[in-house]
Structure 1
């Protein structure tokens, strides 16, 4: 059956006049973003959240009603005013021809995108049929169909061309005014740069085809190798990266396996890397708290994890009922059964960290209010305790674990300012930095003129990395933020190299790794120029 790969006018010459902006330069083509949706109205919030300078290619299944077209045209005009470019008319897919995945794949080969943005492949249920024991999803079926086909096509495209493709799925039902980072179905990576046991750095990032890795050479002169696609199951486009107590890197994600009858099984999986640059270990399944029903299991949130003070792994997910489920290792190293914490109905935004007494803490953004809940366990034998009265009001997509340990960072919902809070604190401490969006990463114990300091890195204006610092344990002294580098596809990350220098890493809009190192002995906190790998 033929695939529709040619450009299609949306409706008459007006669409050509509205969207045509000349041919992009080679550099522009390398940084193109493909927005693949069911119809023009679905494209509007994705266009609105694209940063200045983006090269946007539109792909949809249905031309939509006149009102949808007008809304899309207004979004395009606004995007052009902030410097975005639209190289040509939208691609129009044809459901009647079948093989949507093949059609989208052909489009991706023509567009050559570094980024792909689409809809929610597994939207949450709006009701539940108790007689049939099945969730009821009110989201139009075409949206999920296009999203799932896009994920498959992006995976095949990356495997064919061999370069990373970064995918973002916008959560169904999200506020149209929210930026992309605040309503992604799968969270953006935060602590994706890790120091191995031998002192070398590795960068792990989720892409359409799986996890890609860059590895630091044994000497600075060797540079970095990668990006290398790691072997593994078909993963959804997100990744939790965790450094274990023994210094190994743990990669945690959601796998999706097609069932023989119908639907797909979604499971939490993890793998470990024991030596820098070597192949990772086998991917092990942790299962799904709603495994009895694949229709319910597909809605599972993205996992987070932590090791407690005794080295026990704890894995947390948001379950079908919008509460938290946890599974942990037994003393023999196996995984115990899933345990539901109940209580607060939470969004798909959790962070976990160890407690000093040997247990763990979890902070979760509430589903229906601008607040958060705190769950903790003093040790593995103790009951879970819930506290909903914590002074944490996080902007969506901003929760992260602080490098000091036992501390949470977030952007205050009312101002977007970066804040820090720890269990027991009566109020959070503001750190400034209301520009940008998303979580904050960093390291503690950095040497700045002989002082131990915490260095933070976050997205600033237009996705450019913003770097700040304060004396260890004294966030109340304030933070001066300074932007550096170019816009990044992912939030910036930080780690120490083998000489104890802070290393900041980003990924340029062309998909290449960029690294800057701290200059020890300088006056203040200074970094080398960015190097591209």
Structure 2
């Protein structure tokens, strides 16, 4: 995820750029043109939440002291020299957290080098392993390598990490690890016209799916069975905002994909059994929609959070899972934020909404211990 929000641009939303930065508790430097992402608030196997924020040359980390709070440690600094302040964060069933980013550096002879890299955290609050190099699809062409997009990552049911990038042709290239820790070669998954970050997801049945934005459609790649190659699926006619795709498991073997419409900024939702994307509420948002499927008053609900385009404040909405016809109402909460908010369940099963203030402070709001989805007052971690 990128802490600082993106400026609108005609180029791909994840194209190489100058990096923004922030000081913990200080005033942020100018915004990065890299897009915001969500998914940066993660619950570990011990029930504690961890928040991650990439800044220039480092990743900041906050960790709950106890499951369900209230205290936090951090921000701790994880050195990340040369890495763009944009992370894809993937967690496997074992609870291990993979931080995946794009590192730009120079070789001894001055030649620029661009590599997908990742760091692994085994347990909440413990040290993160050194950054490991995955490489790029163009090892013999530094100029092409410099033009790849920010990575998307997912961990499969076997615990293997898969990474995907937009290639110079506007399609997708991917590389996968195997249980032994070795990596397969980069594969060209084809496609064209991608305008922003890729979204990689996995169903409870272990099938991976990729979606990517284009000017007038959402591109899709799916698997028929585990372990087989990706195949191009039917595109979704739409006009997605380039940096706004997100996905959530909403049923057996089913993912629902969400994005902000490029024309009016409303949230759209779609899955393969839908005739057309559904509109969820009014008003415009920016960046991706944070998603969380959980029970509210005994009902299966999908919780959504976004940054409001008009006020810059976090906004929250919920609706019965896969019943988009009922619509959703967006409620503003808290003070203006930067980037995209995040959602998670804490160790007590409460919905937690998190966002970064403009000064880099991590802000937290938890679900009240009462019926419904009301949040307690926002606090600083």
TM-score, scaled to structure 2: 0.88
Following TM superposition, by how much is the alpha carbon of 1:529 offset from its aligned partner in structure 2, in angstroms?
0.4
Structure 1 residue matching 2:333: 3-state secondary structure: strand
Contact 2:56–2:85 under 8 Å retained in 1: yes
Q: Please state if 1:370 is matched with 2:219.
A: no
Following TM superposition, by how much is the alpha carbon of 1:204 offset from its aligned partner in structure 2, in angstroms?
0.4
Contact 1:357–1:378 under 8 Å retained in 2: no
Paired with 1:420 and 1:453, the residues of 2 have a C-alpha distance of: 14
Structure 2 residue matching 1:203: 3-state secondary structure: strand
Following TM superposition, by how much is the alpha carbon of 1:357 offset from its aligned partner in structure 2, in angstroms?
5.4
Match of 1:268 among 116, 135, 142: 116
Paired with 1:372 and 1:492, the residues of 2 have a C-alpha distance of: 23
Paired with 1:221 and 1:349, the residues of 2 have a C-alpha distance of: 33
1:489-528 matches, within 5 Å, as 489-522=338-371, 524-528=372-376
Paired with 2:229 and 2:92, the residues of 1 have a C-alpha distance of: 25
1:172-191 matches, within 5 Å, as 184=33, 186-191=34-39
Larger helix proportion of the pair: 1
Larger Rg: 1
Q: Which residue of 2 aligns with 1:330?
A: 178
Q: Please state if 1:359 is matched with 2:207.
A: yes
Q: Please state if 1:195 is matched with 2:13.
A: no
Q: Which residue of 1 aligns with 2:285?
A: 436
Larger strand proportion of the pair: 2
Q: Which residue of 1 aligns with 2:148?
A: 300
**In the TM superposition, what whole-angstrom CA distance separates every residue of 1:471-520 from its partner, at most 9, and x where no partner exists?**
23323221111000011022111101110000001111121111100012
Long gaps (5+) in structure 2: none
Q: Please state if 1:389 is matched with 2:230.
A: no
Long gaps (5+) in structure 1: 1-32, 34-44, 50-118, 125-143, 170-183
Q: Please state if 1:229 is matched with 2:77.
A: yes
Contact 1:441–1:493 under 8 Å retained in 2: yes
The alpha-carbon distance between structure 1 residues 417 and 277, as it changes in their structure 2 partners (threshold 3 A), is: same
Contact 2:47–2:67 under 8 Å retained in 1: no
The alignment covers a number of residue pairs equal to 370
Contact 2:97–2:121 under 8 Å retained in 1: yes
1:117-516 matches, within 5 Å, as 147=18, 151=19, 158=23, 165=28, 168-169=31-32, 184=33, 186-218=34-66, 223-355=71-203, 358-366=206-214, 369-379=215-225, 381-402=227-248, 404=250, 406-446=255-295, 448-460=296-308, 461-516=310-365
Paired with 1:499 and 1:339, the residues of 2 have a C-alpha distance of: 42
TM-score, scaled to structure 1: 0.64
Paired with 2:60 and 2:290, the residues of 1 have a C-alpha distance of: 20
Paired with 2:86 and 2:111, the residues of 1 have a C-alpha distance of: 21
The alpha-carbon distance between structure 1 residues 383 and 525, as it changes in their structure 2 partners (threshold 3 A), is: closer
Paired with 2:307 and 2:50, the residues of 1 have a C-alpha distance of: 21
Structure 2 residue matching 1:295: 3-state secondary structure: helix
Paired with 2:150 and 2:356, the residues of 1 have a C-alpha distance of: 22
Contact 1:518–1:525 under 8 Å retained in 2: yes
Paired with 1:358 and 1:468, the residues of 2 have a C-alpha distance of: 28
Structure 1 residue matching 2:286: 3-state secondary structure: coil
Paired with 1:380 and 1:244, the residues of 2 have a C-alpha distance of: 16
Following TM superposition, by how much is the alpha carbon of 1:165 offset from its aligned partner in structure 2, in angstroms?
4.4
Paired with 1:347 and 1:382, the residues of 2 have a C-alpha distance of: 27
The alpha-carbon distance between structure 1 residues 433 and 310, as it changes in their structure 2 partners (threshold 3 A), is: farther
Tell me whether 405-414 or 486-495 shows the greater mean CA deviation: 405-414
Paired with 2:53 and 2:239, the residues of 1 have a C-alpha distance of: 28
Paired with 1:258 and 1:290, the residues of 2 have a C-alpha distance of: 16
